Structure 1
């Protein structure tokens, strides 16, 4: 399991968002407080951000743990952005993909992260994969479940679906094909954040005075204004507003749903 984070609001240094808080994403790479699957997020990390005047986001990704990258510490001190998406990747099976398997994945204005795992990977997604054009399959950045989930989502975005509909349909498709999957997805287009809570924790913090919105796998501090997103929920957020919509669950996914996530607590 991984941990991920998104912010939209007034420009802030990456370090203020990702490093400085007492339980920041940086700290969650070795000491997460709410992570139920896996313990150390050391198999890569990444951060993506949008800069004023450029429609395409920048990314910085590495295959090792974030705490061992001194260049990231320097970058986080000086880079500022009003839209940030970052993730640390759980220790996982050996593979040759390296930083290509580390979120965020990107295309056009979009940045994407998957916090979770596809049950029965890779066989379980053989049928959904066949729905993708050959060039989109061949263009996968990495041969991991998150990269294919991103390809399924991106196919819908490129066809013109808005992010909330694209995320909801992608989760439904993958959950039906691979019951028991954990599908906390997170995407931003530089203006809004769209996310799903599906099998693991997701929280949001509406900063006071319209100072932005944070969406994360777990709170980065003990501010009592953090709110838990119920499981099987779609979240959409701007810098001033957050809305939550229940997601319809395929029957196969409902039967395979673990008991420990049927009744999430706040």
Structure 2
């Protein structure tokens, strides 16, 4: 369920990345090619981007389908950015959160999106709530699983964990509490992209020194797109893409510990 994309590179209009490609995020809202769960991503969308000289991202989010928003069409045509995160939300059971449940979520310099679902929500994550201070719980933007996963991740980031460790620990904690969850998480601070492949598709396209794109699925037929293996942490900049296997807490004994395996630098052509 859901599709998302993050970009780092030279300034580009938002629409050149999210609307114009033949299999863009815009088209994936009704015709995804590799989505394993759900079919139509019409329950909200959003994009966050960074303006030159300002580390705090701007956002545009709406509760309806991306194809029906003419204001977004204008915005995507004229706004340029060197870093962005866009997402379209799978059609789900109706709720009261509306726009607040649409990614990207944001705080400080970070943008975040969750492609997937927490199995057994909300009861499965009830034990994890005690790890969050009351003020952080009361500050949740929405009452959906993605908002709580974001709160758990943000708590680690603000405590000083680096993006990769915070993302990996959050995924493993949620996966242990709710086996069978799909936890493809996507995070950017405007300079790097960190993501997990956990239960759904994740791909990247890299031109070292120029641009890096990480997405649920390729937005065109460029042969240089690379698929990320399941149970993997991805850490990317404009020059490198690093992949690290993650240990499923419910896998058999003897598997590698999370982040213990040597990181693999992925060559790009």
TM-score bracket, normalised by the shorter chain, equals over 0.9
How far the C-alpha of 1:94 sits from its partner, in A, is: 0.8
TM-score by length of 2: 0.93
Q: Report the 3-state secondary structure (helix = DSSP H, G, I; strand = E; otherwise coil) of the residue aligned with 2:75.
A: helix
Cα RMSD, aligned residues only: 1.1
Deviation string, structure 1 residues 9-59 (Cα, Å, up to 9, x no partner): 111110111001000000000000000100000000000001111121000
Residue correspondences, number = 253
The alignment status of 1:8 with 2:8, answered yes or no, reads yes
Deviation string, structure 1 residues 142-182 (Cα, Å, up to 9, x no partner): 00000000000000000000000000000000000000000
Q: Report the 3-state secondary structure (helix = DSSP H, G, I; strand = E; otherwise coil) of the residue aligned with 1:210.
A: coil
Give the equivalent residue in structure 2 for 1:243: 242
* Misfit runs of 4+, over 2 Å: none
Q: Distance in 1 between matches of 2:71 and 2:137?
A: 33
Q: Distance in 1 between matches of 2:106 and 2:252?
A: 31
Give the equivalent residue in structure 2 for 1:44: 44
Which residues in structure 2 correspond to 1:113-124 (within 5 Å)?
113-124=113-124
How far the C-alpha of 1:254 sits from its partner, in A, is: 6.9
Note closer, same or farther for the CA distance 1:110–1:165 as it changes in structure 2 (3 Å cut). Answer: same
Give the equivalent residue in structure 2 for 1:203: 203
The alignment status of 1:132 with 2:132, answered yes or no, reads yes
Gaps of 5+ in 2: 254-269
How far the C-alpha of 1:247 sits from its partner, in A, is: 0.6
Give the equivalent residue in structure 2 for 1:175: 175
Q: Distance in 2 between matches of 1:218 and 1:190?
A: 21
Give the equivalent residue in structure 1 for 2:21: 21
Higher helix share: 1
TM-score by length of 1: 0.94
